[in-house]
């Protein structure tokens, strides 16, 4: 499906932004210059009539994104956590994309429940509310179990969401391919791999059985974390398109006035959000990959409650150590060590200059330290960091995409709670603790013990493996005879010709 027909889809994207008035809002938010504004408006304006009208009751940007589809909504959700990048006004407008989208009907919801769970609606629940939250892929209802009366949250996928999402992803793939062809310099960013990664992440959200399993694993990892809760999954009421879990009562972490009225300390909450994310990523290697305000509540006792586990991130032990060393180097202002870690991990090509890279990293890190967070322009900082990666030929690391994106989102949540938070001061004790446990004599002994356990599992097979290797070494296989190879190639060519001829004839029948 990734053919030129997607040109229409991309043109329609620009046309929708123009028709809804979102184009001007986006260009204003990103401080676009006159030349860029004129170029965009000139290219898009003639196709304005192709754009979707959207919901006229919504502000321009969310109106355009909701009209375009679920993948665009996901992008808007990320931007909603970055008022320092897109501005306070646009960030507030985009926040409705987190859990306040138009819901689908109660009739469709009840039909999906009965079809998925194989029982009549009245047998399952004594009460079932109108949607309490509606996001890009699913909506949530509050219900009470018929047998126990306990309050639960029932998450149901939107009808036809799989087809709609695949249509968006199809256009994204086409755009990525065009970018790679027209801009060879962009290939280091691996746009096709980025879209593939994005597709894999969101496709996991479209099977709620996987989300239920993710929630159970996350709950097991974090059960001893102070000030943090994960609702319990009700497995007998969950399936591919329906997930049921305990109801989480609390205040949305994105509503500052409500948090203040409830007596919560927003500065403490901001620090805890960052600490929790870093602990989950470094300690467990398994973290919530969608920690925006719409997926976090604050309980009456001050605990942070996480839900919506469709996007979870996993990173291996080696990558965690690299990530921790990079963070620790920035915290200590040891830019030479940060540069060395990038080279050791293969993130920067070996033919580049380490000292020059360290100087470039210093220019990124120094503006952060000793400065009030509210005075740091994250948009300008990210723009400079992008220039550095381009200059040194760094390729996009697909295994770090979700980690980096989540770090941006979590920092945005923390800054919305406490605009003056210093992320490096909060991160320091968490990273230092991980460094002590993972890099040093104790960590070396632990690694050796793991290696010994792996070898022990293969112990009975080692003699046979060694013997097979020696036999292959002393008796290499003979090279194929030229006649047979030629004959094989001839049959392959003949077969390919016949298949091609068949396809050509079928096109005319």
What CATH number does residue 126 fall under? 3.30.200
| DSSP secondary structure letter of residue 397 | -
Find the angle CA(435)-CA(408)-CA(222) to the nearest 5 degrees.
55
Check residue 188 and give its pLDDT.
60
Name the average pLDDT for the chain.
79
Find the angle CA(374)-CA(380)-CA(386) to the nearest 5 degrees.
135
pLDDT-wise least confident of 164-178, 183-197, 477-491: 477-491
Most confident range, picked from 347-351, 413-417, 472-476: 413-417
201 pLDDT above the threshold of 60? yes
What pLDDT band is residue 479 in, cutting at 50, 70 and 90?
Answer: low
DSSP string, 236-253: GG--SSEEEEE----EET
Q: Contact 171/6 with Cβ under 8 angstroms? A: yes
- Whether residue 461 lies inside any domain: the answer is no
Most confident range, picked from 343-352, 370-379, 392-401, 462-471: 343-352
84 pLDDT above the threshold of 60? no
Residue 381 to residue 371: CA distance in whole angstroms: 13
Check residue 21 and give its pLDDT.
81
> By three-state DSSP, how is residue 493 classified?
helix
Higher-confidence residue: 8 or 59?
59
- Of 98, 168, 181, the C-alpha closest to 140 is 98
Check residue 222 and give its pLDDT.
95
Mean pLDDT of 323-338: 83
Residue 327 to residue 319: CA distance in whole angstroms: 12
Higher-confidence residue: 71 or 486?
71
- Whether residue 487 lies inside any domain: the answer is no
% of the chain beyond a pLDDT of 70: 76
State the catalytic residue, choosing from 84, 168, 170, 290.
290
Residue 211 to residue 432: CA distance in whole angstroms: 32
What pLDDT band is residue 471 in, cutting at 50, 70 and 90?
Answer: confident
Residue 397 to residue 225: CA distance in whole angstroms: 30
Strand order through the sheet with 251-252: 228-229, 304-306, 296-298, 251-252
% of the chain beyond a pLDDT of 90: 24
Most confident range, picked from 121-125, 141-145, 389-393: 141-145
Mean pLDDT of 414-430: 85
Mean pLDDT of 291-307: 92
Mean pLDDT of 138-163: 91
92 pLDDT above the threshold of 90? no
Q: In this structure, are 279 and 338 located in the same domain? A: yes
Find the angle CA(152)-CA(223)-CA(327) to the nearest 5 degrees.
120
154 pLDDT above the threshold of 60? yes
What pLDDT band is residue 375 in, cutting at 50, 70 and 90?
Answer: low
> By three-state DSSP, how is residue 318 classified?
helix
Mean pLDDT of 381-409: 69
Q: Do the bridges between strand 304-306 and strand 228-229 make them parallel or antiparallel, or are there none, so unpaired?
A: parallel
Mean pLDDT of 449-475: 72
2 pLDDT above the threshold of 90? no
Does the pTM surpass 0.85? The reply is: no
What pLDDT band is residue 502 in, cutting at 50, 70 and 90?
Answer: very low
| DSSP secondary structure letter of residue 235 | G
Q: In this structure, are 70 and 155 located in the same domain? A: no
Alpha helices in 183-316 (DSSP H): 191-205, 208-222, 256-261, 266-279
Q: In this structure, are 229 and 271 located in the same domain? A: no
What pLDDT band is residue 237 in, cutting at 50, 70 and 90?
Answer: very high
Residue 78 to residue 413: CA distance in whole angstroms: 11
Q: In this structure, are 57 and 131 located in the same domain? A: no
Mean pLDDT of 213-231: 94
Higher-confidence residue: 202 or 320?
320
Residue 244 to residue 288: CA distance in whole angstroms: 18
Check residue 507 and give its pLDDT.
36
Q: Contact 156/131 with Cβ under 8 angstroms? A: no
- Whether residue 467 lies inside any domain: the answer is no
Higher-confidence residue: 463 or 306?
306
How many Cα neighbours within 13 Å face the side chain of 268?
Answer: 11
Final residue of a structural domain among 186, 212, 247: 247
Q: In this structure, are 202 and 325 located in the same domain? A: no
Residue 353 to residue 27: CA distance in whole angstroms: 36
Q: In this structure, are 227 and 298 located in the same domain? A: no
Query: At residue 389, what are phi and psi to the nearest 5 degrees?
Result: -60, -35
Cβ neighbours for 131, distance < 8 A, ≥ 6 positions apart: 103, 109, 139, 140, 141
40 pLDDT above the threshold of 90? no
115 pLDDT above the threshold of 50? yes
Residue 434 to residue 71: CA distance in whole angstroms: 35
- Whether residue 475 lies inside any domain: the answer is no
Check residue 377 and give its pLDDT.
56
Final residue of a structural domain among 99, 121, 153: 99
- Output the six-digit token pair for 234: 């009700």
Active site includes 28? Answer: no
Residue 128, domain extent: 102-135+137-247
- Of 317, 316, 360, the C-alpha closest to 338 is 360
Q: In this structure, are 92 and 143 located in the same domain? A: no
- Whether residue 489 lies inside any domain: the answer is no
Final residue of a structural domain among 230, 247, 264: 247
| DSSP secondary structure letter of residue 51 | S
Q: Encode pLDDT of 429-456 as tens digits.
A: 888 888 877 766 666 676 677 677 666 7
Check residue 497 and give its pLDDT.
35
What pLDDT band is residue 273 in, cutting at 50, 70 and 90?
Answer: very high
Q: In this structure, are 334 and 405 located in the same domain? A: yes
- Whether residue 235 lies inside any domain: the answer is yes
- Whether residue 271 lies inside any domain: the answer is yes
| DSSP secondary structure letter of residue 187 | G
Residue 439 to residue 320: CA distance in whole angstroms: 11
- Whether residue 296 lies inside any domain: the answer is yes
Q: Give whole-number Cα distances, 145 to 79, 150, 234, 270, in Å.
A: 37, 5, 11, 35
Q: In this structure, are 332 and 362 located in the same domain? A: yes
Sign of the torsion formed by the C-alpha atoms of 262, 266, 268 and 271: positive
Check residue 49 and give its pLDDT.
76
Q: In this structure, are 156 and 192 located in the same domain? A: yes
Domains in the chain, number = 3
426 pLDDT above the threshold of 80? yes
Q: In this structure, are 190 and 324 located in the same domain? A: no
Q: In this structure, are 59 and 122 located in the same domain? A: no
Residue 12 to residue 428: CA distance in whole angstroms: 46
């Amino acid at each position: 499906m990734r053919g030129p027909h997607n040109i229409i889809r991309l043109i329609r994207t620009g046309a929708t932004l123009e028709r809804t008035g979102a184009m001007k809002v986006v260009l204003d938010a990103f401080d676009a210059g006159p030349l860029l504004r004129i170029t965009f408006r000139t290219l898009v304006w003639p196709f304005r009539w192709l754009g979707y009208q959207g919901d006229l009751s919504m502000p321009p940007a969310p109106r355009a994104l909701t009209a375009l589809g679920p993948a665009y909504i996901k992008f808007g959700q990320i931007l909603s956590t970055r008022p320092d990048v897109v501005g306070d006004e646009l960030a507030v407008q985009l926040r409705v994309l987190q859990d306040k989208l138009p819901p689908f009907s109660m009739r469709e919801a009840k039909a999906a429940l009965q079809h998925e769970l194989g029982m009549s609606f009245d047998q399952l629940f004594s009460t079932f509310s109108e949607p309490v939250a509606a996001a890009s892929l699913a909506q949530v209802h509050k219900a009470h179990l018929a047998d126990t009366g306990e309050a639960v949250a029932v998450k149901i996928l939107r009808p036809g969401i799989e087809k709609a999402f695949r249509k968006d992803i199809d256009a994204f793939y086409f755009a990525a391919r065009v970018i790679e062809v027209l801009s060879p310099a962009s290939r280091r960013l691996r746009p096709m791999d980025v879209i593939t990664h994005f597709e894999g992440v969101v496709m996991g959200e479209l099977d709620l059985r996987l989300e239920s399993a993710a929630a159970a694993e996350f709950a097991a990892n974090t059960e001893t974390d102070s000030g943090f809760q994960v609702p319990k999954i009700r497995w007998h009421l969950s399936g591919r398109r329906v997930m049921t879990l305990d109801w989480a009562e609390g205040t949305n972490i994105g509503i500052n006035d409500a948090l203040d009225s409830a007596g919560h300390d927003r500065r403490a909450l901001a620090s805890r959000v960052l600490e929790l994310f870093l602990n989950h990523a470094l300690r467990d290697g398994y973290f919530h990959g969608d920690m925006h305000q719409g997926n976090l509540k604050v309980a009456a006792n001050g605990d942070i409650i996480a839900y919506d586990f469709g996007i979870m991130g996993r990173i291996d032990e080696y990558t965690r150590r690299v990530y921790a060393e990079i963070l620790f180097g920035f915290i200590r202002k040891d830019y030479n060590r940060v540069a060395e870690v990038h080279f050791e991990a293969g993130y920067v090509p070996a033919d580049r200059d380490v000292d020059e890279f360290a100087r470039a990293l210093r220019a990124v890190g120094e503006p952060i330290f000793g400065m009030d967070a509210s005075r740091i322009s994250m948009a300008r900082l990210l723009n400079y960091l992008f220039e550095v990666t381009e200059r040194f030929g760094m390729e996009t690391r697909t295994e770090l995409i979700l980690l980096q994106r989540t770090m941006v989102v979590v920092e945005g949540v923390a800054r919305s709670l406490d605009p003056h938070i210093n992320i490096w001061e909060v991160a320091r004790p968490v990273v230092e603790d991980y460094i002590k446990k993972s890099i040093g004599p104790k960590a070396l002994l632990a690694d050796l013990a793991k290696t010994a356990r792996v070898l022990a599992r293969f112990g009975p097979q080692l003699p046979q493996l060694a013997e097979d290797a020696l036999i292959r070494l002393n008796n290499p296989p003979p090279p194929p005879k030229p006649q047979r190879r030629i004959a094989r190639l001839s049959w392959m060519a003949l077969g390919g010709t016949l298949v091609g001829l068949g396809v050509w004839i079928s096109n005319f029948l």
